[in-house]
A and B are shown apart, each in its own frame.
Chain A
Amino acid sequence: MTKTYPKASRPSLDDVSVSIEKGDFVFFIGPSGSGKSSIVKLMLHEIKPNKGKVFVNGKEISSMRSWKIPSFRRSIGCVFQDFRLLPNKTAYENVAFALEVIGKSKAVARRVVPEVLELVGLGGKEHRYPHELSGGEQQRVAVARAFVNRPLILLADEPTGNLDPDTSIEIMRLLDRINRTGTTVVMVTHDSNIVNQMRRRVIEIEGGRIVRDQARGVYG
């Protein structure tokens, strides 16, 4: 599969082919501009490939009709470097918002949200606003929001990019726990420490091409 951005002289992803099994934990690593973030965008259908196909959860999404995209995205959870929380909502409201806007009732939110906040280790801090939480805690809220809908896949685009090493390790433990529930985790990072500690599948991208795909890899 190939993706070239308009006005770019060379493709961002050049004839890349990769398959990730259900339940995997995969790191995409590589320098800035190598094309690893494009993979997350392709999996979310934020961008489309110029050539080739993208299959997610057994469905070809590269040619999906635009009105089907919302329901497709409900099967994917997403975490970003900048957390993307709503500043005027508490931790509880941020997670509940993700449920409400896809049509779940308040009663469902009342049952599920405390549960998932407990799971990410934020029990007791439900009613704090993002600015009253540390960076690591904000990222936990973001993970809770991504996971509350029990997605099949969790995409994490440099989730530890804004966190100190200790906090990063805690977030990784959390993602590992989520992976053990059967959720596929795809994580884009350039944090060598984390990759080396986790010893999971590592796919290294450079200049838009896969240069390494190792089952229990290190950052190298």
Chain B
Amino acid sequence: MRAKYVLAEMLVGLWRNVTMTIAMIITMIVSLSMLGASLLMYMQVDEMKGHYYEQVEVSIYLEKTVDDTQRSEIKAKLDSDPLVKSVLWETKEMAYENFKQQFRDAPDLVNAIGADELPESFRVALKDPQKFDQINATYAGMAGVDTVVDQQKLLQKIFDILGSIQNLSLVVAGFMGLAALLLVANTIQVAAYSKRREVAVMKLVGASNWFIQAPFVLEAVFAALLGSILAWVMLVVGKIVLIDGKLAALTDLLLPVSWGNVNLMLPILAGIGSVVSAVTAWVTLRFYIRV
């Protein structure tokens, strides 16, 4: 009986103030989907780091004038270096084949480069990718070495860009979240004001505090749950249309976003949204409904 009363009061309250309810839900959708997107990006960057750092290499490009002694000296040093996991020697021919393969969509570029214009190199996998500086110090000055390139540095730039997109969406999520909270507080105030007579009588006859406050708090939680479900739908649509649709070509590089992660956002967003709005509603009521 009591649960039924509380639920009925909650729905009446939401409906009585329906424009405010809609505004509250919309801001919640935007802020929660932003939050969800940045969480997804965070998980994505983490997965990508794991994936790419496994195969990250240091490329030691050799000068065109390198001779066999210099080459075998470098090779011997690499083979005996404790920091090195494995070494692959890429000849000019192999470099050209890889190049043709990578740029097969751009035949003009391939035709412009001759078969022996690409430098030969050693592809070195490190036991610890962080130790690039030591490798660089050892090999950069050796005779026959042109440059030493750390692929991790290239990846780092991509991760930095992703990181700043992620920070931006967190900031937007924060601002929209603040707006959503203010709307929750306002909605609760209006609801409490429109039921002030009932509240006064309930206090007078000794209704318990939770019983007086529950319908208002549930209003906020209900809006938050609805908002988080719709925010999750936005993420799903975003994955289908953007990640798997328009940006599908990039997923070779960026790795596809998994459904598992997207689905994980539903409970996370619903949890964060409902707890935060319940607390906001409760705090608002502390000021408006005194014992």
Q: Is the CB–CB distance between A86 and B198 below 8 Å?
A: yes
The answer to whether B205 and A73 touch across the interface, beta carbons within 8 angstroms, is yes
B233 to chain A, nearest CB (A): 38
Q: What separation, in Å, do the CA atoms of A1 and B236 have in the docked complex?
A: 66
B155 within 8 A of A: no
Q: Write the nearest CB–CB distance from B15 to chain A, whole angstroms.
A: 15
- B154 sits at the interface (CB 8 A): no
Find residues 40-79 in chain B having any chain A CB closer than 8 Å to their own CB: none
How many A-B contacts at CB < 8 Å in the complex?
Answer: 55
A residues 43-93 in Cβ contact with B at 8 Å: 44-45, 66-67, 69-74, 76, 78, 84, 86-87
Q: For the complex, what is the distance from the CA of A44 to the CA of B290, rounded to whole Å? A: 13
| Contact pattern, A 82-106, Cβ under 8 Å of B = 1, otherwise 0 | 0010110000000001101111011
Q: Which range contains the number of A residues in contact with the other chain? A: 20 to 34
Q: What is the interface of chain B mostly: helix, strand, loop, or mixed?
A: helix
Contact between chains at B205 and A98 (CB < 8 Å):
yes
A145 in the interface, Cβ–Cβ < 8 Å?
yes
Write the chain A residue with the least CB distance to B2: A103
- Chain A residue numbers with a CB within 8 Å of B198 are 86, 97
**Residue pair B200, A101 in contact (C-beta under 8 Å):** no
A84 touches B206 (CB 8 A): no
How far, in whole Å, are A84 and B212 apart by their CA atoms in the complex? 17
* CB-defined contacts of A97 to chain B, threshold 8 Å: 198, 201
Establish whether residues A84 and B204, one from each chain, have CB atoms under 8 Å apart when the complex forms.
Answer: yes
Query: Is A84 touching B201 in the complex (CB atoms < 8 A)?
Result: yes
In the complex, chain B residues whose CB is within 8 Å of the CB of A101: 201-202, 205, 207, 211-212
B112 at the interface (CB under 8 A from A): no
A102 in contact with B207 (CB, 8 Å): yes
Shortest C-beta distance, A95 to chain B (Å), equals 10
- A36 to B: closest C-beta gap in Å: 19
Does A149 reach chain B (CB closer than 8 Å)?
yes
CB neighbours of B205 from chain A (8 A): 73-74, 78, 98, 101-102, 145, 149
Check B202–A84 contact: CB distance below 8 A.
no
**What A residues does B2 contact at CB under 8 A?**
103
The answer to the question of B1 belonging to the interface, with a C-beta cut-off of 8 Å to chain A, is yes
CB atoms of A67 and B211 under 8 A apart: no
Interface mask (B251-291 → A, CB under 8 Å = 1, otherwise 0): 00000000000000000000000000000000000000001
What is the minimal beta-carbon distance from A38 to any residue of chain B, in angstroms?
17
Q: Are B1 and A73 in contact (CB under 8 A)?
A: no
18 chain-A/chain-B pairs, Cβ below 8 angstroms: A67-B209, A70-B206, A70-B208, A71-B206, A71-B208, A73-B204, A84-B200, A84-B201, A84-B204, A86-B201, A97-B198, A97-B201, A98-B205, A101-B202, A101-B205, A101-B211, A101-B212, A102-B208
A interface residues with partner B (beta carbon < 8 Å): 44-45, 66-67, 69-74, 76, 78, 84, 86-87, 97-98, 100-103, 105-106, 145, 149
For the A-B complex with A69-B291, A103-B211 known, give 10 more contacts whose Cβ atoms are closer than 8 Å. A70-B203, A72-B206, A74-B206, A78-B205, A84-B201, A98-B201, A101-B205, A102-B206, A103-B2, A145-B205
